[in-house]
Copies of this chain bind each other. A is one copy, B any other.
Amino acid sequence: MFSKRCEYAIKIMTFIAHQQKKSDKKVDVDAISKAIDSPKAFTAKILQDLVKSDLLVSSRGRFGGFSLPDQFNISLSQIIEAIDGKKLLEGCVLGFGTCSEKNPCIVHHHLKSARQHLKIKLQETNLEIIAKRVNEKNAYFKE
């Protein structure tokens, strides 16, 4: 459903949100990749993309790291779009560039409601909610 990069991105963002609930300190790549069990250099690349998409703020140098932008609650759909683009939520499931409501592909209408439902859930679910759940339920970032 999601690319590996996107899976990591969701874990990254959730972990940072979780950490920032506990303290205002920035979080660095090393801490993130250890916490979510992801390859460090690859994680750094994904972090760069998240910064470019303004879903994270980075600061370089000593005691640098990554943090959430101020007053900015981020949804899963924003993360997915930043990493995998609009394809999952907007693109044709059969890959047709020309598929639309008026010119639907053979399965368009059959999956429309399910995709809409998914889209709404991904928009509704934001880091605030997830981080709260993490605190309450002690959910995990790695296996």
A residues contacting B by CB (< 8 A) are: 1-2, 4, 7, 10-11, 14, 76, 87-88, 93-98, 104-107, 109-111, 113-115, 117-118, 120-122, 124-125, 129-130, 133-134, 139-141, 143
Contact = CB atoms under 8 A, between A and B. Distances in A.
Contact of A93 (B7, B107, B111, B140): B7
A10 B139 contact: no
A4 B95 contact: yes
A10 B124 CA distance: 31
Contact of A111 (B122, B129, B143): B122
22 contacts: A1-B87, A1-B88, A1-B93, A2-B93, A7-B94, A10-B107, A11-B106, A76-B110, A96-B140, A97-B143, A105-B139, A105-B140, A106-B134, A106-B139, A106-B141, A110-B124, A110-B125, A113-B121, A114-B114, A114-B118, A114-B120, A114-B122
